[in-house]
Amino acid sequence: MDKILILKGNIIFTRTADRFEVYQDSYIVSVDGKVEGIYKVLPEKYINCTVDDYGGRLIIPGFVDLHLHAAQFLQCGIGMTKQLLEWLNDYTFNLEKEFQNVEFAKEVYTKFADKLVANGTLRACIFASSSTKGTEVLFEILKEKGIGAYIGKVNMDRNAPDFMIETTEESIKGTEYLIEKYKDEKLVKPIITPRFAPTSTDELLEKLGELAKKYVLPVQSHLSENIDEINWVRELYPDSNHYSDVYNKHLLFGQTPTVMAHAIYLEKDEIELVKRNSVTLVHCPDSNINVRSGIMPLRKYLNIGLSIGLGSDIAGGHKIALNEAIVRTIQLSKLLSMDQPEYEPLSVSESFYLGTKGGGTFFGKTGSFEEGYFFDALVIEDNSIIADRYGLEDRLERFLYVGDDRNICARYVEGNKLK
C-alpha cells in the first residue's frame, strides 16, 4: 500500500535559483517518500488521510551539506589563525588520529550526528578519518539517524605524519571493506575519498579510480583551495597540466559523480574540464575566510553554468548549521562585488537554492518540492510577533540569518519523520 504523508503550512522552496516558490496555507502530499503535489484545497482522494497541521509555520526543503569532516567536529573554532597546511599539521591530523579508538569515535560521532540533524542537514557528503574502524562507527551512527549521507574513509599514503598515513594496500583494503559492507544501503552510502592530491601517491589515486569505476561510486576530494597547496601539487605532479588533471588522469574527476570542495583558483582549462565532466563544486564560505584561503569566484562559476552546492567544511568552517553557510555565501559575494563590480552579489533565493536543490541534486531528486522529488523537509517555527508582521519570504530570510536548531520543530527524510 502507498505510504501517504500530508503536511499543512506555509510552503517555500526554490525550483530555480532566481525566485522562491511560495504556497501560503497549503498542503504538501508525499506518496512513498516522494512529493506528489502541493494543494490549496486537499483533493478528494486524500480527504480521509491524517494531516500534520503546522499552522502558520514554514515548510522548507532540508539542507544539503556537500562538504564536511566529521572527525574534525571537536576542532570547530580552534586554530583559526592558521592557514591550511599549517592548520592541518598543527591541529587536524592530531585530532583525526584519535578516531582509531572506536570508543572515542562513538562518543564524538554521536555528538556530531546529533548536531548535524538538529540543525536541519538531511543530506551530507562527509569525510570521516583514515581509520577504517572509526569510519564504520560513523556509518552505523548515521544509519540510525535516518538522514542521507555519503561517507568516505579518508585515503592518505604520503606527506602526513606517520601516525596518520597507511600503506597504499592498507588504505585500499579498508576502503573496499567498507564499500562491500555498505554499498547496498539506501540512505548512507560509501564515497571514494582521497584527502587531496598532496597526501596521495599516483598509485593510490590510480587504485581509487579503479574502485570508483568497479563499484560505480561517487568521488569527493579537495581542489585548488590555497596557493601554497597549489604550488605543492605542481611540484609533486610535474607531468600534470593542472591540479584538476591529477584527479582526471586517475578517473576521479567526473567519470563517476564527483564533488570537489573549494576550487578557488581554477585555471581556464580547469573550469572547462569541470564543466565538461559535470563535476560539482562546493563553495565553503566560512572555510574560505577562516583559514584565509581566498574567495571562490562563485558568480563567475554560476554564469558559466557550473554545478555548485554549499559546504560547512567543518572544521575549516566553524558552524555546522547550513543556514550559516547560506548567509555567509551572500555576505562573501557582497564583499567580492565591492572589489569586482562585475560579480553581482547573490540574492537570498540564489543562496538558498545552492544549500538545498543545488547540492541536493548530487543525491538525486532532493532539495526541492517539485513533483517526484524525495520529500526531505524541515518545519520552521518563528515567534508570533514576527509571523504576524512579516511575509513568508522575509520570515525565511530572518530564519536563515538569526535562526538556529531551536527554530526547527520537525524533520522529514523521504517522507519519514525523524525522531
What is the DSSP pairing of strand 4-13 with strand 21-31? antiparallel
CB under 5 to 8 A by kind: which of ligand GUN, Fe ion, none does 153 bind?
none
CB of 223 vs Fe ion, minimal distance in Å: 10
From the list Fe ion, ligand GUN, none, partner contacted by residue 357 (C-beta under 5 to 8 A by kind)? none
Residue 92 contacts which entry, Fe ion, ligand GUN, none (Cβ below 5-8 A, type-dependent): ligand GUN
Which phi and psi (to 5°) does residue 219 adopt? -130, 140
Stretch that binds Fe ion, among 180-188, 275-283, 311-319, 395-403 (CB under 5 A): 311-319
Q: Which residue shows C-alpha cell 500530508?
A: 6
Q: How far is the CB of 193 from Fe ion (least distance, A)?
A: 11
Q: Which is nearer to Fe ion, 69 or 411 (CB)?
A: 69
User: The dihedral of CA 337, 343, 344, 347: what is its sign?
Assistant: negative
Q: Identify which of residues 222 and 318 has a Cβ nearer to ligand GUN in the complex.
A: 222
Please tell me the count of residues contacting Fe ion according to CB under 5 A: 1
Return the closest-CA partner of residue 151 out of 137, 162, 163: 137
Minimum distance of ligand GUN from residue 137's CB (angstroms):
19
CA 29 to chain CA centroid, nearest Å: 26
Name which of 244, 251, 304 is nearest 275 in CA terms. 304
Answer whether 209's CB lies under 8 Å from 255's CB: yes
The residues that touch ligand GUN, with contacts defined as CB under 6 A, are: 69, 84, 88, 92, 195-196, 222, 225, 287, 313, 316
**CA geometry: angle 128, 362, 326, nearest 5 deg:** 80
CB of 149 to ligand GUN, least distance (A): 17
C-alpha span between 182 and 227 (Å, rounded): 36
57 binds, among Fe ion, ligand GUN, none (CB under 5 to 8 A by kind): none
Alpha-carbon dihedral of residues 316, 318, 324, 325, nearest 10 degrees? 0
Binds Fe ion by CB under 5 A, chosen from 136, 166, 313, 414:
313
Closest distance to ligand GUN from the beta carbon of 59 (Å): 33
Complex with ligand GUN: residue 123 or 318, whichever CB lies closer: 318
C-alpha distance from residue 134 to each of 72, 101, 106, 296, 318 (Å)? 13, 7, 8, 32, 22
Q: How far is the CB of 282 from Fe ion (least distance, A)?
A: 9
Q: Which CB sits closer to ligand GUN, 110 or 159?
A: 159
Rule CB under 5 A: which residues touch Fe ion?
313
